[in-house]
Structures are given as C-alpha cells and as structure tokens.
A and B are shown apart, each in its own frame.
Chain A
Amino acid sequence: GQNIDQPTEMTATEGAIVQINCTYQTSGFNGLFWYQQHAGEAPTFLSYNVLDGLEEKGRFSSFLSRSKGYSYLLLKELQMKDSASYLCAVSLVDSNYQLIWGAGTKLIIKP
C-alpha cells in the first residue's frame, strides 16, 4: 500500500525557522509535492522535487532523499501568515497525475 507520514501539528515562533518532515513508502515514486493550505481555502502549490537535493524558493526550501523516502519543507523568517496546514503529496511513476496525500501538518506561529 501507499503510506505518507508527517507530523500532525507543529508550533514555531515568528522570525524563526521550522522544518516539516515527510516520509513516504510508495511503489514507483515519481515526485514529491508540498502544498500550503489556509483554513477554508484551496491548497496552494509550493514546490515539486523529483531529484535528490534541496530546492530553494525564497523563504521556503524543500529537500528530497529518494533512497530514504524522506522530504522536508524548510520555512525561514517565519511570519504570522505562514500559519497554515502543509501537505506533502507523492506522485507515482505509473500514474503521475494522481497525487497520494499525507494528512497535513498544522503549523502554528506564535508572536
């Protein structure tokens, strides 16, 4: 079966750095996505990793290790508006248009 794990909830301080981990056990991995979702809103695409390594995009970076089945999303210089759920999703080789989703990590930013 397909399995994606990420912490349910994390708390961090405004201005700090936080790392949200995601581990996956899937058959035929193709790529890994991170989405941000504010309460009551649509998921918003943040990043897409296919190869091992770190992808940096402004305050957000995403890392992938295919051999370890592991990814993380790194958020720097946290702002209050970063309070949201962060969803990890995997696309598979034999159906690379279908995303398998983690349950999401609720990130709470405190002043």
Chain B
Amino acid sequence: EAGVTQFPSHSVIEKGQTVTLRCDPISGHDNLYWYRRVMGKEIKFLLHFVKESKQDESGMPNNRFLAERTGGTYSTLKVQPAELEDSGVYFCASSPPGRIYEQYFGPGTRLTVT
C-alpha cells in the first residue's frame, strides 16, 4: 500500500512568489492534515480536512495560505505571496475514518523562501 506522498520534496522561491504544495493521502483515508515545522521550532498544526470539508483551519497563520481538497482526494496548500517566515517543512498526514489517532505522515515538503 502506498503511503502519503507529497510534492515537491523541496521548493526554493523568492519572496513575493507563489508556491503550491500537493499531498496525496493514503487511499481511503478521509482525514487529511497539514502541519508545518519552522526551523528550530516544534511542529504546528495548520488544518484538518474530512473528505473535502475543512474541519478545522484554526492553525492557518494568515490569509496568504489557502488549502483545498476538491473531491476529497488529494489536497493542495498554496502560499501567495510567500514571505521569508514561511520557510520550513510542510508535512501532510492522513488517517482512516474513525481512527484519527493513526496519523500517517508524508515525507514533507521543504520550502525555502529567499
């Protein structure tokens, strides 16, 4: 069974540009989460989808971040315009229906904003 995949693995962009990160959860996992780890800090929750619906987006830092999960399959996280403080590793995780404690993480996307 394929695990959670994320694309790209690493992205380097300039301040002010736009970047879109993609996450493909494990097939059949309704729950999808986005997390971020900024250098030297702990992992922070960004948001949670149940199928295509945003269950909780309380962790989204500001309106420069937009997450979507059209069709309830893969999800995208767009940062527009990117700022220097957005640099970090963005993790996606998924869990099966009714078992939210089994979060399977993707390898992460390392975003560097210069």
Contacts and interface: CB of A to CB of B under 8 A. Distances in A.
B42 A97 contact: no
Nearest to B49: A97
Nearest to A31: B101
Max chain B C-beta neighbours (<10 A), residue from A31, A91, A97, A103? A97
A40 B110 CA distance: 9
Contacts of A104: 42
Q: Name A's interface SS.
A: strand
B56 A97 contact: yes
A44 B104 CA distance: 7
A13 interface: no
A95 interface: yes
B107 interface: yes
B48 interface: yes
Interface string A67-111: 000000000000000000001010100011111111110000000
A98 B45 contact: yes
A44 B101 contact: no
A48 B101 contact: yes
Contacts of A45: 102-104
B25 interface: no
A101 B101 contact: no
A99 B103 CA distance: 10
A43 B41 contact: no
A42 B31 contact: no
Contacts of A87: 43
Given A31-B101, A42-B91, A102-B42, A97 B107 contact: no
Interface of B: 3-4, 31, 33, 35, 41-45, 48, 55-56, 58-59, 91, 95, 100-108
15 contacts: A35-B105, A42-B105, A45-B103, A45-B104, A87-B43, A96-B100, A96-B101, A97-B33, A97-B48, A97-B56, A98-B33, A98-B56, A99-B103, A100-B45, A103-B41
